Amino acid sequence: MTVSVVIIGGGYGGISLAKALDDAVDVVLVDPKDSFVHSVAALRSLVSKEWAERMFFRYDGLLTRGRVVRDRAVKVDAQGATTAGGQRIGADYVVLASGSSYPYPAKMDVDDTAEALTKQAVTREQLASASRVLLVGAGPVGLELAGEITDVWPDKEVTIVDVADEVLSGAYSPELRDRLRRQLRRARCPAGPRCSAGRGDHRRPRRERSHLGLDHSRRRD
Ligand X SMILES: Cc1cc2nc3c(=O)[nH]c(=O)nc-3n(C[C@H](O)[C@H](O)[C@H](O)COP(=O)(O)OP(=O)(O)OC[C@H]3O[C@@H](n4cnc5c(N)ncnc54)[C@H](O)[C@@H]3O)c2cc1C
Q: Which residues bind ligand X (CB under 6 A)?
A: 8-14, 30-33, 39-40, 42-43, 72-73, 97-100, 102, 106-107, 141
Identify the three-state secondary structure at position 25. Answer: coil
Instruction: Name the residue whose CB lies closest to ligand X.
Output: 11
The answer to whether residues 124 and 146 touch, using CB atoms and an 8 Å cutoff, is: no
Q: How far is the CB of 33 from ligand X (least distance, A)?
A: 5
Angstrom CA distances, 47 to 104, 121, 123, 182, 214, stand at: 14, 9, 9, 25, 17
Q: Least distance (Å) from ligand X to the CB of residue 44? A: 9
Complex with ligand X: residue 10 or 147, whichever CB lies closer: 10
| Between 61 and 190, CB nearer to ligand X | 61
Task: Report in angstroms how near the CB of residue 11 gets to ligand X at its nearest.
Answer: 2
CB atoms within 10 A of CB 209: 16
Q: Which is closer to ligand X, CB of 12 or CB of 172?
A: 12
Nearest distance in Å: CB 48, ligand X: 14
State the Cα torsion 179-181-184-188 to the nearest 10°: -130
Measured from the CB of residue 204, what is the shortest distance to ligand X in angstroms?
Answer: 29
Q: Which of 92/144 has CB closer to ligand X? A: 144
Which residues touch 70 (CB under 8 Å, ≥6 apart)?
31, 32, 33, 34, 59
CB of 61 to ligand X, least distance (A): 17
CB closer to ligand X out of 29 and 197: 29
> Using CA of residue 76, residue 80, residue 34, residue 54, what is the dihedral sign?
positive
Q: What is the dihedral of CA 3, 7, 12, 31, to 10 degrees?
A: 140
Q: Which is nearer to ligand X, 102 or 165 (CB)?
A: 102
Contact 38/56 with Cβ under 8 angstroms? yes
